[in-house]
Chains A and B, each alone.
Chain A
Amino acid sequence: MAGRAPGAPGDPPAADLPAVAHRVREHIVGMCAGPEGGHLGGSMSLVEILTVLYFAVMRIDPRRPAAPDRDILVLSKGHGAICLYAVLAERGFFPVAELAGYARPGGRLMGHPVRAVPGVEMPTGSLGHGLALTNGFALARRDRRCFTVLGDGELQEGSVWEAAMASAALGLGNLTAVVDRNALQITGPTEDAIGLEPLADRWRAFGWTVREVDGHDLGALHRALTQAETDGAPEAGRAGRERPVVVIARTVKGRGLPSVEGKVRGHYARLSERQAERSLAVLRARRRRAAP
């Protein structure tokens, strides 16, 4: 597993978000080269989203993962587990070396997030659960921020919209949802299955403030996840109620590996040693070009 954690657990977050994101991608490749492979495409599309949240937005302390006033993140798209594990390890919740045990019998890093892993708030993997859970977290304490990251295909689950109605009706201004809009699901484009567009309008109609960003632009993500709440669009909100925010992050499935970028076949991958080496070389070459 390449890369190293940014110092001891609890140290201030690394300022060099691109470097963190690069290491997370290397970890993802490493885990996909493990015994069971992994959800490569949807983990690669998620890297910048989780990196910004855990390293620059959320108030969290890896030494106190159960601190009552911590910010909360529920990874509703639980098949992004390997990205979450990599980001949590980089952030110091557990040793980076443990990532080598992903999907190996006897370990705790299961194919979908497990609560036994420090930093994982709730078990997810069956789609359509995260937003309702986050509603509960946000209700329990309104003095902390609660995030959930959804897949776009996941939005076909009706339970998402039950929960979305409730978030707005309850005035959960401390709740932010992020949609990893990579536009692909296992069988092909989301729009060829059960289409999601006009996605922003749908969320607005449910009473949410919508922000659309390039989901691989760390700065744009940071701004969207931290700017003041209402966006001057109170007309659709209920009087005296704060509106939840959804960030629609336009991403590329498999981002970072040209052989699978935007391609269905990268949804799940079991990489051979040679494929993994090639993938790491590609990632490093891109990284050198981006940050010489």
Chain B
Amino acid sequence: MTDARDGAGTAAPPSAREAYRDLLPALMRADDRLYCLDSDTGLFDRAAFAGVPDRYLNLGIAEHNLMGTAAGLAASGKIPFVTTMATFATTRALEAVKIDIAYPALPVRIVATHGGLAAGHLGPTHHALEDLAIMRMLPGFTVVVPGDARQAGEAVRQSVGLPGPVYIRLGRSATPDLDARAAGTGPSAGEPFEIGRAQWLRPPGDVALIAGGPHPVLAALRAADLLAAHGVRAAVLNLHTLRPLDADAVVAAAAGTAGVVTVEEHWRSGGLGGAVAETLAERAPARVARIGMPAAFAERVGGQDDLLGWYGITSGAIVAAALNLISGTPGGGTDDPDLSRV
């Protein structure tokens, strides 16, 4: 398969994290409860916080203190937006996230960049392939993976009014606008992005592709086009919110199909595929084939698209999985890597 670059690289700027960077100061000027807690990410320019300089704080390279400070602010009626890389937010600082933020259910907004394999050549220390499993497990957290820069901005804007803590996972580089890719093709195409409500990008069909995050959703859309050439109608559901999960949409997508292919930029365990499998097992059993990073660390240098290709998070892999479901071919059940692919 040579389809690793499923649409990425053809995008217009900005990236999701730039959209967030550009939006946050305006939100802060309109609402004096909002803070921007930076951890020396280099994403923000202090000058952008004109009018609210006291509420932009670079707390340095210290993620535990970052999360604890955010919790203290939130317990005082503030709404801090905390930014660090996804892996640092959810593994290095996890105990503070769990005990200081989730346990008291405080309205901290963790906006994490470099989700999934976005850090590419920087390697496994900077990849975040466990963050969604961890965050959707923590009681009370809303967990969102916007599909593009526009959705990232919407997620950030909508998060302000939510009651508890929120985790928003962003990538690194720019990706295409999903609305433009999907216009007019699904029951809810053109409807506004709404946290907690899955987005139909292709209507229910013979097989369902349920994806989250820019690259997986783009790969699913491309796979749906490829499947159409095989005479297979594939639903595409952008399951951008993992918690609260839009279980009705998941069940509706699976109903009457040969099965569901889940696609995510995450280790196969515990993330979107896990959430879909749990939901279907309990509400409407269906076969599920999970596309995601096998249980392995990247072993050689690759950009995000290279890694997605090598580890099979591609439209080709989605097509193969969908055709296997339709033909009733047995398979799945392991997260271990198929080393022949790598």
**Residue ranges of A at the interface with B (Cβ–Cβ < 8 Å):** 68, 74, 115, 121-123, 125-126, 128-129, 131-141, 158-159, 162-163, 165-166, 169-170
Contacts and interface: CB of A to CB of B under 8 A. Distances in A.
A162 B65 contact: yes
Interface of B: 57, 59-60, 62, 64-78, 80, 95-96, 99-100, 103-104
A166 B62 contact: yes
Contacts of A169: 60
Given A122-B104, A123-B99, A129 B57 contact: no
A138 B72 contact: yes
Given A122-B100, A165-B60, A140 B73 contact: yes
B68 A68 contact: no
Given A122-B104, A129-B100, A132-B100, A139 B65 contact: no
Contacts of B72: 74, 122, 132-140
Contacts of B76: 68, 136-137, 140-141
B206 to A, nearest CB: 50
A165 B73 contact: no
Contacts of B71: 122, 132-133, 136
Given A122-B104, A139-B69, A165 B62 contact: yes
Given A122-B104, A139-B57, A162 B64 contact: yes
Contacts of A139: 57, 69, 72-73
B99 to A, nearest CB: 6
B75 A122 contact: yes
Contacts of A132: 64-69, 71-72, 96, 100
A132 B71 CA distance: 9
Secondary structure of the A side of the interface?
Answer: helix
Q: Which of A74, A115, A132, A137 has the most CB of B within 10 A?
A: A132
A156 to B, nearest CB: 14
A126 B99 contact: yes
19 contacts: A115-B104, A131-B68, A132-B68, A132-B71, A133-B68, A133-B69, A136-B68, A136-B72, A137-B76, A139-B57, A139-B69, A140-B73, A159-B64, A159-B96, A162-B64, A163-B64, A163-B68, A163-B69, A166-B65
A137 B80 CA distance: 12
Contact of A133 (B62, B77, B80, B100): B100
A128 B76 CA distance: 20
Contacts of B103: 115, 123
Nearest to B63: A162
B99 A129 contact: yes
Contacts of B65: 132, 135, 159, 162-163, 165-166
Nearest to A74: B72
Contacts of A131: 68
Closest CB pairs A-B (n = 8)? A136-B72, A132-B68, A140-B76, A162-B62, A136-B69, A162-B65, A137-B72, A159-B64
A126 B99 CA distance: 8
A166 B69 contact: yes
A126 B95 CA distance: 9
A140 B60 CA distance: 18
Contacts of B70: 136
Given A132-B72, A133-B68, 16 more contacts: A123-B103, A123-B104, A125-B99, A132-B65, A132-B69, A132-B96, A133-B71, A133-B72, A133-B75, A137-B72, A139-B72, A140-B72, A140-B73, A163-B68, A163-B69, A166-B69
Contacts of B62: 162-163, 165-166
B336 to A, nearest CB: 33
B163 to A, nearest CB: 16
B214 to A, nearest CB: 32
Contacts of A170: 57
A80 B69 CA distance: 22
A132 B70 CA distance: 9
A138 B65 CA distance: 13
Q: Which of B57, B64, B69 has the most CB of A within 10 A?
A: B69
Contacts of A115: 103-104
